[in-house]
Copies of this chain bind each other. A is one copy, B any other.
Amino acid sequence: MRATLIYGAGDIRVEDVPDPVLREPTDAVVRVLRSCICGSDLWPYGSQPSSEEGQRIGHEFLGVVEDTGSDVSTLTAGDLVVAPFVWSDNTCEFCTEGLHTSCRHGGFWGTEGVDGGQGEAVRVPHAQGTLVKLPVGQDSALLPSLLTLSDVFPTGHHCAVTAGVGPRTTVTVVGDGAVGLSAVLAARRLGAERIILMGRHKDRTDLGREFGASDVVAERGAEGVERVRELTGGNGTHTVLECVGTRQSLETSLGMARDGGVVSRVGAPQYEEAPMDGSAFLRNITLTGGVAPARAYIEELLPDVLEGRIEPGRVFDHTVDLSGVPDGYRAMADREALKVLVRP
């Protein structure tokens, strides 16, 4: 089959690789129907050291079950399923608590011996725990929105949930990428009173307004902080959803959090240290968030997608086939595309 590999910064290739086969009785093989490129894929795309072997990449996909191991009883060939971006057994103590990203037997796609999602098929470890069945046909118009349940929408949701967003919460979302826009949609879904979106790409912030943003702030850094404070009587917002991952974005986020407020981060941190200094201490600021346990949220979010109450798939503005994946990375890195859908 064909699959995507990364050989280093800027070096994405689609190559022939061995077809996936069952290795463990808990495995399934899934033929990929839709995959996509994640903003977090752009970090290795921007900086990964070169290697001779290459590494599978991609961690968001939905597809059709082709084969199942002997321990897999709840899935059968032909089932349409979505895979969260971390595989997990869904039975250990962490999974039971809803923290599937800390599963005792889980792991990440594209690591040593594990397939990536940007390919024609994937061997899925702990398939019964990992995969969630989708009650739609292979030609459903909902596939893009259902695919977002793999990562980007639950990530925005996790950001809002860990921040404690609710009906009396004011929210600032930092970042107008696909995660930021998903966080806007998630905050809106949770009933947030007011949502300020920080971003400077009009087509993106326009979608953000449709997703529920009440205000858009184009300024960044100290100016952005000042603008958000102006909009909130000098106070800042109860929650700040940090959807970028840079140190500057974190500093901005801390600056616009209301005293007693929460900064939640879901952008993979490109920093080692957070400025949780005496000022943050005196203002009782909480820093929370982390890698989103998407698996924990899929059943909760699925009905809203199936019944059309939310359309998180609107973040896809560009579609490629497998051979177009390298150009998809380039388009996202160059900000030509917000998020690229892959139809293998």
A residues engaging B (CB < 8 A)? 94, 97, 99, 101-102, 162, 259-260, 265, 268-269, 271-278, 280-291, 293
A99 with B281: CB separation less than 8 A: no
Interchain CB contact (< 8 A) of A99 among B99, B260, B276: B260
Q: Which residues of B contact A290 (CB under 8 A)?
A: 280-285
Chain B residues whose C-beta falls within 8 Å of the C-beta of A260 in the assembled complex: 94, 97, 99, 102
A282–B276 alpha-carbon span in the complex (Å): 18
Whether A287 touches B291, Cβ cut-off 8 Å, given contacts A99-B259, A102-B259, A281-B265, is no
Decide: B269 and A281 in contact? CB cutoff 8 A: yes
How far is B216's CA from A123's CA once the two chains are assembled, in angstroms?
A: 47
- 5 example contacts (A-B, Cβ-Cβ < 8 A) are as follows A101-B284, A102-B260, A274-B275, A274-B287, A285-B290
Q: Is the CB of A284 within 8 A of B289?
A: yes
Asked if B273 and A282 sit within 8 Å, CB to CB, the answer is: no
Question: Which B residues are in CB contact (< 8 Å) with A101?
Answer: 282, 284
Chain B residues near A269 (CB, 8 Å)?
276-278, 281
CB nearest neighbor in B for A276: B274
Complex CA gap A277/B274 in Å reads 8
Cβ B94 vs Cβ A259 within 8 A: yes
B277 touches A273 (CB 8 A): yes
Q: Which residues of B contact A280 (CB under 8 A)?
A: 290
In the bound complex, how far is the Cα of B278 from the Cα of A271, in angstroms? 8
Q: A273-B273, A282-B291 are in contact. List 14 more A-B contacts (CB 8 A).
A: A94-B260, A101-B284, A162-B286, A265-B281, A268-B281, A269-B277, A269-B278, A272-B275, A273-B274, A273-B276, A276-B276, A276-B287, A283-B290, A288-B288
Q: Given A259-B99, A276-B273, are A291 and B284 also a contact pair (CB < 8 Å)?
A: yes
Of A102, A276, A277, A283, most buried by chain B (CB within 10 Å of CB) is: A276
Name the residue of chain B whose CB is nearest to the CB of A99: B260
Complex Cα gap A260–B291 (Å): 10
Residues of B within 8 A of A287 (CB): 274, 276, 286-288
Distance, CA A204 to CA B87, complexed state (A): 46
Chain B residues within 8 Å of A284, by CB: 99, 101-102, 162, 289-291, 293
| B residues near A293, Cβ cutoff 8 Å | 284
Of chain B, the residue at the smallest CB distance from A158 is: B284
- Tell me the smallest distance from the CB of A257 to a CB of chain B, in Å: 12
* Residues of B with C-beta under 8 A to A162: 284, 286
Cα–Cα distance between A281 and B102 once the two chains are bound (Å): 11
- For residue A268, which residues in chain B have a CB less than 8 angstroms away from its CB? 278, 281
- Among A94, A274, A277, A281, find the residue whose CB has the most chain B CB atoms closer than 10 A: A281
Q: Nearest CB to that of A103 among chain B residues?
A: B259
* Minimal beta-carbon separation of A108 from chain B (angstroms): 10
Look across to chain B and name the residue whose beta carbon is closest to the beta carbon of A290.
B284
Which B residue sits closest to A262, measured CB to CB? Answer: B288
With CB as the reference atom, state the residue of chain B lying closest to A288.
Answer: B286
Alpha-carbon gap, A290 to B286, bound state (A) = 8
Q: In the docked arrangement, what's the CA distance between A283 and B86, Å?
A: 13
Give the chain B neighbours of A97 by CB distance below 8 A: 260
Which chain B residues lie closer than 8 Å to A291 at the CB level? 281-282, 284
